[in-house]
């Protein structure tokens, strides 16, 4: 009888395992299909592909003062240079997705060792199907690299404890932490937290003597040193250029801003030395704290803002900064609670690991929330620890139900838990369907939609940029006005005026002639302008005399060459008119 029951249980487990593998395979194939289209995401076109492309064009890494993001660490961006060198800008998405798959491997390995293969597979599916992970997996960003290295640092930390403080695992954890910081500055939060964990864990595990306390601090010091050594190439580069190793962070700590630390110059050799700083200005809201923005711009009450660390699990929306520009799942909020309800039954090692996972997640979210306006991507390293806690909590809940209710009622309660879990995962599946509707990869993959048409559909400025690539001289220098800094597709030199454009005219007694001469002095030969934002700026910020001067400038000194989709390409006349 017992053998028959065991065989029945094994058959059920085998069927569930096959079903989970099929679901996982369908999820991976779906993400691959969604990735097989040209890049159109903002950060890819302004940063993660645009900077590597410029480096390739100029034969190496060089300073680009007008692009603040060019000072960020770029471990993954350097990998993207390889396919870009061969003319392929879709493969970087697969490189990025590969880090999600590697993180899935870490999740699977951890959960299989501490639970069961079925729970490990469920953890992988949960992680890969989370909306923000799907979104990142089909874009050429760097956050999945940060997630992988941060998770690997935590896993190595657990192995360090499990091995009774073997130096090898501490060094590996520090290397991973250094690679995380070298991928994105957000990794600094994880670096700070894991350093504290190293000191705290050893202090608690060893006999409380003065010698052991010093040794705990020594472990922390080694961890810090190795992490900084791995990160150091980016820190040294920034220090040489700006006297700030983590520019543009904490500029007040390190002295003068970059424009004074190094000569301001164009992204391309040979341009006038002051060509960029003349055009650079900031959005006035940049001086507000993100809490002020939420109060004044988003009209949030104080308690709504205070609840953001909880709201992110329920209210996320893509492309909406008010709702965190991304989506998580309520599953990550509810199920971790169950991981701690019966924690006394766990082994001491597992209890320690759960506490570290929870502390890392909570403090990472709170640190990110305190430092800048919330985006789901900014707290992404907390996602794998929350997935691990969710699956551990799910397992603990199922085990508790079976223990307390061994009969038919137990099956009912188990069914309810499985139904709720399936519903939450089904919401993730709904997001995947939404992505197919938005990205529409089938038309491009089948060849019905060409590359240019596809890009133009999502990036309306592309038509004007394409015209410029084909019709203006190769040595032209374009000033982009309200293009969102998206310069990746331009084959001509393209720099940007950040939010305020030709309005240096106000410093020149409202003279159209001086506006023109300033453009000529800085080598600008063309402008690409987004009409709606441009006209809104004029209407709301300038008086009648100033608007008349701007109109005169356009009439006498610019020539419209091409216009489409609300964007125009203007040539700067050779003479003063």
* Exposure on the CB side of residue 144, measured as CA atoms within 13 A: 28
User: What radius of gyration, in Å, describes the C-alpha atoms of the chain?
Assistant: 27
Strand, coil or helix: 460 = coil
For residue 12, CA distances in Å to 6, 16, 19, 118 come to: 10, 6, 11, 11
Spell out the alpha helix ranges (H) of 251-330: 251-254, 258-261, 290-296, 302-306, 308-311
- The CA distance from 455 to 37, in Å, is 9
186 within 8 A of 378, measured Cβ to Cβ: yes
- The CA distance from 515 to 497, in Å, is 14
- The CA distance from 102 to 83, in Å, is 20
β-partners of residue 494 are 478
- The CA distance from 99 to 5, in Å, is 41
For residue 150, CA distances in Å to 85, 135, 174 come to: 29, 19, 10
pLDDT truncated to tens, each residue of the chain (577 aa)? 567 656 767 788 888 899 999 999 999 999 999 999 999 999 999 999 999 999 998 889 988 887 888 999 999 999 999 999 999 999 999 999 999 999 999 999 999 999 989 999 999 999 999 999 999 999 999 999 999 999 999 999 999 999 999 999 999 999 999 999 999 999 999 999 999 999 999 888 766 777 778 888 999 999 999 999 999 999 999 999 999 999 988 877 776 554 443 333 333 333 333 333 333 334 444 567 788 888 888 888 888 889 999 999 999 898 888 899 999 999 999 999 999 998 888 888 999 999 999 999 999 999 999 888 889 999 999 999 999 999 999 999 998 888 888 878 878 888 888 898 888 888 899 999 999 999 999 999 999 999 999 999 999 999 999 999 999 999 999 999 888 889 899 999 888 864 445 555 454 455 777 778 777 888 889 999 999 988 888 888 777 877 888 888 888 888 999 999 999 999 988 876 5
152 within 8 A of 99, measured Cβ to Cβ: no
Burial state string for 235-271 with b = 16 or more CB within 10 A and e = fewer than 16: bebbbebbbbbbbbeebeebeeebeebeebbbbbeeb
The CA angle 260-266-268, to the nearest 5 degrees, is 140
pTM of the model: 0.90
């Amino acid at each position: 009888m017992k053998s028959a029951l065991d065989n029945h249980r094994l058959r059920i487990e085998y069927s569930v395992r096959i079903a989970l593998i099929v679901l996982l395979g369908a999820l991976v194939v779906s993400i691959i299909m969604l990735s097989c289209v040209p890049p159109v995401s903002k950060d890819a076109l302004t940063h993660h592909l645009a900077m590597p492309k410029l480096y390739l064009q100029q034969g190496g890494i060089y300073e680009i003062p007008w692009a603040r993001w060019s000072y960020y660490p770029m471990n993954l961006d350097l990998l993207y240079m390889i396919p870009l060198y061969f003319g392929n800008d879709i493969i970087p998405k697969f490189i990025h997705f590969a880090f999600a798959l590697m993180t899935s491997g870490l999740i699977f390995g951890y959960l299989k060792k501490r639970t069961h293969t079925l729970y490990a597979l469920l953890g992988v599916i949960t992680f890969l199907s989370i909306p923000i992970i799907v979104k990142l997996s089909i874009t050429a960003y760097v956050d999945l690299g940060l997630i992988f290295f941060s998770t690997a640092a935590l896993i190595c930390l657990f192995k360090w404890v499990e091995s009774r403080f073997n130096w090898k695992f501490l060094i590996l954890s520090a290397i991973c932490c250094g690679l995380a910081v070298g991928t994105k500055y957000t990794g600094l939060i994880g670096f700070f937290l894991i350093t504290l964990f190293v000191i705290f864990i050893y202090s608690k595990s060893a006999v409380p003597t003065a010698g052991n306390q010093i040794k705990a601090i020594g472990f922390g010091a080694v961890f810090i040193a190795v992490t900084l050594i791995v990160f150091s190439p980016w820190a040294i580069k920034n220090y040489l250029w700006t006297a700030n190793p983590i520019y543009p962070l904490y500029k007040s700590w390190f002295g003068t801003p970059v424009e004074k630390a190094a000569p301001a110059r164009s992204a391309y050799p040979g341009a006038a030395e002051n060509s960029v700083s003349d055009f650079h200005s900031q959005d006035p809201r940049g001086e507000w704290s993100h809490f002020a923005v939420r109060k004044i711009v988003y009209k949030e009450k104080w308690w709504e803002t205070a609840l953001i660390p909880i709201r992110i699990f329920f209210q996320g929306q893509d492309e909406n900064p008010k709702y965190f520009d991304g989506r998580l799942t309520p599953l990550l909020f509810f199920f971790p609670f169950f991981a701690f309800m019966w924690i006394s039954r766990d082994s001491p090692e597992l209890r320690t690991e759960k506490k570290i996972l929870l502390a890392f997640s909570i403090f990472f979210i709170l640190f990110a929330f305190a430092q800048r306006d919330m985006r789901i991507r900014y707290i992404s390293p907390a996602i794998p620890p929350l997935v691990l806690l969710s699956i551990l909590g799910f397992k603990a809940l199922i085990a508790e139900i079976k223990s307390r209710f061994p009969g038919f009622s137990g099956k009912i309660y188990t069914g309810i838990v499985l139904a709720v879990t399936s519903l939450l995962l089904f919401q993730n599946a709904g997001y995947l369907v939404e992505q197919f509707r938005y990205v529409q990869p089938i038309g491009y993959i089948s060849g019905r939609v060409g590359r240019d048409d596809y890009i133009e559909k999502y990036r309306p400025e592309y038509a004007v940029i394409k015209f410029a690539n084909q019709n203006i001289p190769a040595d032209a220098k374009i000033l982009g006005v309200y293009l969102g800094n998206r310069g990746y597709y331009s084959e001509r030199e393209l720099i940007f005026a950040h939010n305020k454009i030709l309005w240096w005219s106000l410093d020149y007694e409202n003279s159209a002639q001086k506006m023109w001469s300033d453009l000529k002095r800085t080598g600008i030969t063309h402008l690409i302008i987004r009409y709606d934002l441009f006209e809104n700026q004029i209407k709301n910020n300038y008086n009648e005399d100033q608007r008349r001067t701007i109109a005169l400038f356009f009439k006498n000194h610019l020539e419209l060459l091409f216009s489409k989709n609300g964007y125009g390409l203007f040539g700067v006349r050779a003479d003063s008119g």
